[in-house]
Amino acid sequence: MATGKVRYWAAAKAAAGIAEETFEAATLGELMTKITRDRAELARVVSRSSFLVDGDPVGRRPHDEVVLGDGVTVEVLPPFAGG
């Protein structure tokens, strides 16, 4: 099980009520389950978000297949408007 931090941006930050928090999870899928438990608004935002793992885009890879290493930073990026 890896430990790291998750950073929330824009609407994800507002829904989480914090800018970042630490976590323990083996995969991105497990992390998403943990951070959205009992946080309905965050779950709604996360379902539309993109993710970076140590600066690398996750893209369309299944979240359960994205393995997290120790000390990793996961960034939650909701859709942004503008150009």
Measured CA to CA, the distance from residue 36 to residue 57 in angstroms comes to 20
**Taking the domains of the chain in order of start, what are their residue ranges?**
15-77
Measured CA to CA, the distance from residue 54 to residue 50 in angstroms comes to 13
Measured CA to CA, the distance from residue 81 to residue 83 in angstroms comes to 7
CA atoms within 13 A on the CB side of 60: 0
Query: pLDDT class for 81, splitting at 50, 70, 90?
Result: low
- What is the pTM (predicted TM-score) of this model? 0.93
pLDDT tens-place string over residues 28-61: 999 999 999 999 999 999 999 999 999 999 999 9
Q: Which two tokens stand for residue 7?
A: 């950073």
**Residue range 15-77, CATH number:** 3.10.20.30
What are the C-alpha distances in Å from 36 to residues 15, 32, 55?
A: 10, 6, 22
